[in-house]
Structures are given as C-alpha cells and as structure tokens.
C-alpha cells in the first residue's frame, strides 16, 4: 500500500511533467492522477471498489496540495551565454540529489574537474536512485539544480566547460 508521501511525490512528478493522466495499480490499490485544465491542482481518484482509509488519502492532503500548487513558482536560474559549455541534463523526471546521502558532501561543486565517468548527482525516480555521470571531461562551471528539487526530462542540471 502506498504511503501519503509517495502519493504526494507522484502528484508532484505528474504535475511538473507533460502527462495529463496517470494510472497506478499495486497490490489491489488503484490510483488515478489527472491534471485539470481549469484548475491548478491534481486530483487523486481511488475507485469505489477499494476501501479508502484516512491514513492513505487524508482530506487535508488534497487541500494542502491545492494550496501549494496555487502559489507561483519562481526560479532564478542564470542563463549562460557561452555556447561552448556542455549541459549535463536530467535523463528522466525525478528528484535531484547532489550527494549520496543527506549528511555527505556533494558529488561535485562549481570549479571541480570531472571526467566522463564522474558521478555528478543522483536523480531519484519511483524510489530508484539513478547515478548521473558527467559524460564529458572538463570543469563544472555552474550547478543549475538545487538539492531535493524536482527535475524534468532534459532539464539542464550542470554546465561544464569541456577540456
């Protein structure tokens, strides 16, 4: 059975993606997430054939999610004009982590040198931790994502000046 935090993560991932509807079924539990074009929140539908406990989908969660999504999201990412920089992009939708654990140092920082096989971050998708490699030898010029931030497929995460 899914925990409320897992459902919230799914809602955030779907909301940030181009997907309009998502259906999930596990161990007899069915969840349907739909984006509503006229509303600024996602809806969680649990079919009537499944019993709904307040522990799984409390009413406060829908209200809290609606409140969070109605606030404008402002990102201040500087645009780099140097076209010679290599962008390391996210290969999937997920959560960006700059370090292997919360109490560890980041994999790389601005100014660090990287090789093609250097792990620069982790993108978590559906509880799977995917190590992202630099794919180019060079120096990290800028880190474009923040730890714990939801990232899109193809979203630039790092700018690297190739050697």
Shared-domain flag, residues 134 and 100: yes
pLDDT grade for 1, boundaries at 50, 70 and 90: low
Give the pLDDT confidence of 23-59 residue by residue, as tens digits: 777 766 777 777 765 444 444 545 545 444 444 443 3
pLDDT grade for 2, boundaries at 50, 70 and 90: low
Residue 92 gets which letter from DSSP? S
- The answer to whether the pTM exceeds 0.85 is no
How far is Cα 30 from Cα 1, in angstroms, rounded to an integer? 10
Contacts of 61 (CB under 8 A, 6+ apart): 4, 7, 8, 44
How far is Cα 44 from Cα 143, in angstroms, rounded to an integer? 34
Q: Calculate helix-pair angle for 59-70, 4-16, nearest 10 degrees.
A: 30
Shared-domain flag, residues 22 and 60: yes
Shared-domain flag, residues 58 and 23: yes
29, burial (CB in 10 Å: exposed 0-12, middle 13-18, buried 19+): middle
Q: How many domains does the chain have?
A: 2
Domain that holds residue 45: 4-70
Shared-domain flag, residues 92 and 58: no
Distance of CA 147 to the CA centre of its chain: 10
How far is Cα 127 from Cα 26, in angstroms, rounded to an integer? 15
């Amino acid at each position: 059975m899914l925990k409320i935090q897992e459902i919230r993560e799914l809602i955030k991932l779907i909301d940030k993606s181009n997907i309009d509807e998502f259906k999930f079924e596990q161990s007899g539990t069915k969840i349907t997430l739909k984006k509503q074009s006229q509303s600024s929140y996602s809806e969680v539908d649990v079919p009537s054939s499944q019993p709904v406990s307040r522990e799984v989908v409390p009413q406060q969660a829908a209200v809290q999610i609606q409140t969070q999504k109605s606030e404008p999201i402002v990102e201040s990412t500087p645009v780099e004009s140097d076209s010679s920089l290599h962008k390391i992009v996210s290969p999937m939708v997920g959560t960006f982590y700059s370090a292997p654990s919360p109490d560890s140092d980041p994999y790389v920082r601005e100014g660090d040198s990287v090789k093609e096989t250097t792990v620069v971050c982790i993108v978590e998708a559906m509880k799977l931790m995917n190590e992202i490699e630099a794919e180019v030898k060079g120096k990290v010029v800028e880190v474009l994502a923040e730890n714990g931030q939801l990232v899109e497929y193809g979203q630039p995460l790092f700018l690297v000046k190739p050697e």
